Structure formats: C-alpha cells, structure tokens
Amino acid sequence: MTRVRPWESPEITGWRRLRQNAVDRRADSVSLDGSWRFQLLSAPDAPLGEEWSPLVVPGPWTMQGTSDLPHYTNARMPWPEFPPLSPDANPTGVHERDFDVPADWAGRRIVLQVGAAESVLIAEVNGRQIGIGKDSHLASEFDVTDTVRVGRRNTVRLTVVKWSDASHIEDQDQWWHGGITRSVLLYATDPLHLADVQITADHAGSLRVDCQVRGPLPRGWYITGDLDGTALAQDTEFDRVNREDDRVSDFLGEARLSARVPGVRTWSAETPFLYGLTVRLHRADGGVADTSRHRIGFRTVRIRGRDLLVNGERVFIRGVNRHDFDPLTGRTVTKAQMRADLETMKRFGFNAVRAAHYPNDPALLDLADELGLYLVDEANIESHDHAHEIADDPRYLPAFLDRVSGMVLRDKNHPSVIIWSLGNESDYGANHDAAYGWVRRHDPTRPIQYEGAAKTDWFSTTVASDIVCPMYASMEEIVAHATSGKQTKPLILCEYSHAMGNSNGTLSDHWEAIESTPGLQGGFVWEFWDHGILQRLSDGRPAGPGTTDGFTAGVAAPGYRWAYGGDFGDTPNDGVYCADGLVFPDRTPKPAMYEHREIAAPLRLTHDAGLLRVHNRQHFRDLSWLAGEWALSAEAAGTRTAPAELPHVPPGGYAGIPFPRELLDDLPPDHGAAWLTLRLTTAVDEPWAQAGTEVCTPQVLVAEGQPARGTGTAPVRRIPTGSGPGTSAGVELDVEGRLVSPLLTAPPVLSLWRAPTDNDLLGGVAEHWHRLGLDDLVREHVSTDRRGDRVTVRGAYRTAGGVVEHQQAVSRLPDGGLLIEETAVLPDGVTDVARVGTVFETVGGLERVEWFGQGPWETYPDRRAGGPVGHHRARITELFTPYLRPQESGGRSGVRALSLLSGTGRGLSVQLDAPRQVSVAHHRAADLAAAAHHDELVPRRGCVVHIDAAHRGLGTASCGPDTLPRYRFGPGTYNWSWLLRAV
C-alpha cells in the first residue's frame, strides 16, 4: 500500500492498525501520559528542527502555547480545498518520548494504544513506522511486539497531521484542535489471547457470551466465565475457523458461554444495576492465558410499532447532546470531569446523552453504565460542508465502514448504549446504507438512527434509520406527524431547544405536547456545554492547562475572558455560535437547567378542590428514594415549612397526600397569594448525588387566583393603598410630571426594547426592532394634567411603525407613597416588540434585592416552569446571568413585590398590580448590546430597573423554532400599575 501523502487518501485506514474490540486491557498496561518532546512543523513534509519543547500528552498543542491556536467553525470547513484535499499549510505535531518495557513482558505480545489523535496519526517505534490512524475519536492500536526491545530504552514518535481527507468527515460544530487528545499506553497479552467478547444480556435474565481467540490455537485450550462468582455454562467448544494447519498465525477460535439468572435485577437509567462478568482463556493445563472483566447490565431494547421500549416499557428520552470539552485543555477531558458532567445531568433530570458527534472515551460509557444514562453512540462522521458529495463517494466508503464498525465493536457490551447513530449532518447516500447494513448484521439487539436518512420522509420504512430523529422540528410539526395516522417509527428529536445564550424558551410547552401525544417520545437538547475557552487578555492566548485562578461560577476572572470564534484571529469563524450550552464553560449550570429539572421531575403535584395528589412520573422506580418537605409561601405572611410524608406510589401511578393544615391554620386573613411547594431531596446517597440533594420543587397555588408556573399572567389586582412600609421620602414630580427623588437618577419611562439575545439576533427579530427604532425611543411631550394629588402625563414616541402613545398617571397616597398607573397604545405597525413596560434608574448603594415571585434563578415568560414562587433575596450582582456574549438576562417572572435595599436596610419598595416580569441590574440594555465580551462591560453604580406589563418569550430561534405566538406581543393597549415607596 502506498504511503504517499496518506493524509489525503481516504482509502487508507492503517497498515498495521489493529481492529477495535471489546476486551478490557487496562489491567496489564503502562501509561505513557505525561511530558513529551514536541516540535510543531508547518507541514507534514517539513524537516525537523534541532530544538524540542515539552508538551503534555494527552492534550492538544493548540491549548499549550504554540503558534497554532484553536479555530472555530460550525458548518464551514476552515479552508477551501475540496475533498479529499487538504491545505499545504498544514500544522503537524511531532511528539516523542522514551519508554521502558517491563522485563516480565518478554515473550508476550505488546500493543501500543493511542486513545485519540486529531486528525491523522503516524506512529513510529525505534525509528520504524508501524501504522496510521485516521479516526480522531477512536483509539489506534498497533502490534509492536517485534519493534520494541525488552530491557532496553525505546523511543516512540507520534506524528499528528492536523488537516487531512479525514477532516472533511469530522466537520462538527466545535473548535478545531490538533494533537493527541486521549491517553497513550502500552499493554501486553499472551501471544494467544482473547480477540473479542460479545455479551448479550436481556431483561428476562438470559445471558450469552460469545468469545473469539486469536492465534495458533493449540488443542485442549478452553474458555470459562463467571457472573459475580457463579460459573457460566459452556455452550460450545472452540470452533476452529479455517483449521487446515495448526501453524496458521492469524487463527480465530470461537466459543460461547451462557447462563439464566433467576430473579435478575435489570438495568435502566433509573435502576442501573450492574453484574460483574469475568471471562478467562485457559491453557490446556488450566493456567489462565488471558482475562477480560466487564460490568454488565441485563436490559432489552426493542421498537414496537412507533414506541421505543426499554425492558418492555415505553420510556421518555430526556436527553442532552454532549461534546468532549474543557476550557483549559480543549478536547482532553479526565474521567473525573466526565463523571462531574454525568452527575450534573442526572441531578437536573436528564436520563439520556447523545454522544455528539463521535464515540466518547470508553471511561464515559463505563460511567453511564454505573450512573444510569441512556446513550446514543454516534459514529465520528460529519461532512457538513461537503455532505452531498461525500455521502455517495466510494473513496470514503471504507472510512464510513471503519468508523461505524469500530464504534460498535468497541462499545457493544455497554448496557447504557441503547441506540447506534451513523453520524451527523452528512446528507444521505450509499455509504450510510452500507454502514447501516453492517450494524444491523453485527448487532440486531439495538435500533439504529441517522437524522439525514429520515429527514426528507418521516413516514418511510425503507431508509437507514429505525427512528425518526429530526433536528429542531417545531412542536406543531411533530404533533401533526404523531396525529397523522401514518407514523411508522418512534419520533425522538436528536436536537431541539438550542441553548445559545438566554434561550430554551417553550421547553415546557414542548414537553407538555410530548407527554400528551402518543408517538412522541422525547429528544436531546442542544447542548450541554458553552465552548468558551479561557483566554488571557495580556497576550490573547488560551490560558492553558494548569490555570487555577481564571474563573468561578461561570464568570471569567479579571485578566481573562471566555473566548469564542474569532478571538484567536481564526478566520473564517462562526463567532459566538459555540456558546450554546446548558452549562457555562466551567460547568456552572445556567438557569435553563432548573427549567429542565422541573419538567423532568420524578414526581408531579396536583391540587384540585382542596385535594392533593402526587404522581410518580418514573418508569421503573417507586418514590422510596425521595424525602420531602412542605413549604408554604404567602405574599404577606412569609414562608413556613413542615415535614412531608410521601406515600407509596408505583411507577406511573398516583396517590393522595394529606394537606399540611398546620401551615394554613395561623395565616392572617390578608396573607395574599399563597403557594405550596413540595421540596424533594434524595433520601439516601445515590451514585450521582449525596443524600439531601435537591431533586425538584413541585408547587401548587392554594390561595388567590394566580397562575401556576408556565401559564399566562394573572388578572390585574387592586394594589393596597393604605399605610405601607415606607413613604415617598422626598419623591416629587417635575414640571413634566416625571418622578424626581434623591433615590432615583433617571425617572420611569416607557421601554419597548431589550438587549438582543442570541436568539433575537440570529432569528432576525433584533433587526426588526432596530428598523422600528425601538432601541432609541425619544418621547415627545404632549400634555400634563394636574388635579390635586394626581398628575397625568401623556406622551408620544415616534417609530417607523407609527406613533406609540403612553400615559403615566402618578397619585400621591395618604402614607406618602406614589401610585403610578400606566397605559401604552401600540399602533398596527409596531409588531412583535421585546417588552412593554417601565424602566427607571436608582442611585448607587442599593445592593440587595428582596422579592415575592418566581426564583431564585432567572425566569422568563416562556421559560418559567423551574422557578418556584416564593420570597427570595439576592445581591444585585447575583441576579445577572453572564452569558458569554452580553445580552438580556437576569429577569424574574411573576413578581408581585420587590425591595431594593442598602446595607443599612434603606431603599425603595415596589408593589405591582399583577405578577410581572421584572429585572434589576447594573447595566442598561444599551450597555449590554454594545459589548462583545464581559470584560468590555463597566457596571453602573446604580440599579437599572425594568417592570414589564408584557415581555417577549425567548424561543430558540438561533437554531430552531422561535417562541410561540402566545409569548409575542404587538399592537394593542397595555395597562399596568405599581406602587413606589421609600423604605
């Protein structure tokens, strides 16, 4: 086989590279991780220099101070060459180190394993080239038995070519890096060894273990196995394949073990019970030549009609997409970090992960087995920029088959893997059909999905996808499909609810439709991470491994910032589009995580005619793992708590629960709106959370007609105007009727605009607001009418859509407080506005806020299911959500009252006529809109306060549907009122 420019030859997959298998080789291995000698060349054929620099392996060179920096593109390739060509300027990293082979490995078979390298790996040992690897997310293994020297110093050189023909099918939405990104190790086996182990364990307790042995198989050798110490039966002796001559060196023997496990404990995401399986290859004298250990789960995955079943049950897939990512080390992630990722997912109600868009490190699959997460295992194939050409290109057929088959061969024994995926966004062609056929033959126990195969015809039964798995389909589309009478397959969205910036609007609406519509079974939110890289402002380079002072709670520390596309001089780039996750780069959860947690809650609470019920929303588990506490929050009577005793409720069932009357008995008659919350925590330690970890906070209204979370605004109420907690304290009116006070630096004015979110910008509505002129409203004074203690000011705001009329009536109350009653009339041409409400500014020194409404985290009209109504308090700075690109954030829905206070307890209080959207920040909307990064923001001393009669939903229009019509606002008359007092 030619070795000329192997980085541009898609047919080449490696000449001494071993095939993937599912045998565990970690027991007898030597790690080669650590400091290596390194040179970065400008091209693969550039000569080596004299000087070497240290580089940490695993770790991409793009994150370790070299001249080749990270590059972000989404769908575009970063260079113009067409497949299979790559650019002449092609960074190439030469990694070299010395190693010793243990003396007791003499006479054994020795294998070099490189966990992952991006993009082409060329391996040499002791100056001899031993093979090539081209999948950046599967290990490359090479037999180096006849190349290494036992008892003497050896040298390994791993040359990694950044760009290649393979890059065209690794065109995923993530940073481009270069280097060795997973661990490097040596391991040893007997010359005659287990070549593969395939395990089939169903939920009825049937176990089958198919074993393959490679080598010249002597007579008398045999296989044994045990399951947690209980021996397995041997169903077959070795089947000696091609046994014409026992001296054949590439010999394959096969044997089968089996068992029936009575009273088997099944594996599911809710009950991830694992058994220990050990398989041994014995010599004729009984000695053990090879061993493979596995943790297995008994579970069955089937499709019946249009339902995906796990262990015979139709389960909801509450999933999230996940990339390998770390803000300091790029694509290199430790097992501890992977565990932290999966534990966070479990704590926030996710039960499934799509490995987007490549096979993850084997350690992650082990953790998913242990913690309980369903996995969609996805092949490392995405040809986004050249999808149509490559899907049917026979030159790429070996690469498709190699990547898909390698994933299946490696991961087939993991119970967490319930679906195979043929890749992502690569059009659809003969190469996919070939890969589908191979998987269907090799593993008939799992369904296969591929979005590209099903996207043009959701009803087809002949394409290479057993599941309809669309991207960003609207709620209306999926419901129409499921109710059409023609649906033939399960519908599970492989991507939906794009989490870019302040986003994930209508998530609860989607799940209301999914849970109430047969044929809809869930989906995977895009995605888990914001891919912001910690960047030093001093030199513009990645902070790199080992930085410990660069971030906290989602915020980059002074001297650093979260970098996105273009911040490293990378062109072309796709800017902030990489910041589209549910957690910040440092793994701090965003507010949308709490939304999902409540939607996915294992228990629902309902209240009807004074009766309380708890509903178990789980598929396999009762409620005994949960502990509960009641909390009653009344607007004018604080919050009180009481223990809660949970009844026994089987999966899918419901039961009544006694009402905690002791919480209501001594409430004053004027307590106002009252909400009952059942705070649920883990009763005992779970693999993913310690006992006492909050799981969810289901809540019901028990007094006054305020709507539940996720519904519309309550009817306007009359604000109490009697004696209040303060007075106007110097608040006066100027000649135009504007409020003037030592506590206000800018009087209340009409606001129709917000700092555009990423969804607003990419969905186009921000440009619509700009064309209307809503971002630069100027009031034209019309009239002032003074009648006693009431002043009415009528003004007009000219926009490109017509004149907006605004009336503000201010009344002085007997206690000195001020009642502000407002009306805004939007003409027919002013459509789809950001907000309709009031904005004013205060003096500095008011650093604390207390409010009754939804919280404690950020909520918005179409993303409010996760914010329980109650009494909350925070520092003003804690209200702000630091999305990577500054934008509208920090709002709270359903607010009825708030106070802005100094350290001494002085400040302002506001009472509202109805539950309103409120925000308090140290930035004006224009400040946020003008900044590209947070290091460009200068906080104002005072507070900027928004009180909104209407606020547009968030939607997910950066990639997917915009918010629903009921969360948009346009022409019409809006009324709101509020009471201002000094405290």
34-45 residue pLDDT tens? 999 999 999 999
Residues 828-838: tens digit of each pLDDT: 999 999 999 99
Residue 236 has pLDDT above 80, yes or no: no
Q: Quick check: bond before 84 cis, omega within 30?
A: yes
In terms of DSSP H, where are the helices of 798-848?
none
Integer Cα distance of 41 and 52 in angstroms? 11
pLDDT reported for residue 217 = 75
Q: How confident is the model at residue 726 (pLDDT cuts 50, 70, 90)?
A: very low
Average pLDDT, the chain: 93
Asked if the model's pLDDT at residue 703 lies above 90, the reply is no
How far is it, in rounded angstroms, from Cα 265 to Cα 117?
A: 39
Residues in the chain: 983
Predicted pLDDT of residue 38: 98
pLDDT at 448: 98
Distances in Å between the alpha carbon of 933 and those of 69, 503, 540, 575, 885? 19, 18, 13, 12, 5
- For residues 569, 573, 576, 581, the Cα torsion angle rounded to the nearest 10 degrees is -120
Helix (H, G, I), strand (E, B) or coil at 28: coil
Percent of the chain with pLDDT over 70: 94
Which pLDDT does position 253 carry in this prediction? 86
Q: 257-296 pLDDT, tens per residue?
A: 999 999 999 999 999 999 999 999 999 999 999 999 999 9
The SS3 of residue 897 is strand
User: Which of 183-192, 233-242, 457-466, 879-888 bottoms out in mean pLDDT, i.e. has the lowest?
Assistant: 233-242
Peptide bond into 8 cis (omega under 30): no
Whether the predicted pLDDT of 4 surpasses 50: no
With CA atoms as reference, report the closest residue to 754 among 907, 860, 867: 860
Name the pLDDT band for 619 (thresholds 50, 70, 90): very high
Confidence (pLDDT) at 718: 58
Encode pLDDT of 204-229 as tens digits. 999 999 999 987 778 889 999 999 99
Contact 377, 355 (CB under 8 A): yes
Position 243 confidence tier, pLDDT thresholds 50, 70, 90: very low
CB neighbours of residue 350 within 10 Å: 26
Residue 933 has pLDDT above 70, yes or no: yes
- The whole-number pLDDT of residue 672 equals 87
> In the prediction, which pLDDT does 14 show?
62
CA nearest to 470, candidates 503, 497, 439: 497
Q: What is the pLDDT of residues 502-558, one digit of tens each?
A: 999 999 999 999 999 999 999 999 999 999 999 999 999 999 998 988 898 899 999
CA distance 117 to 43: 17
pLDDT at 17: 85
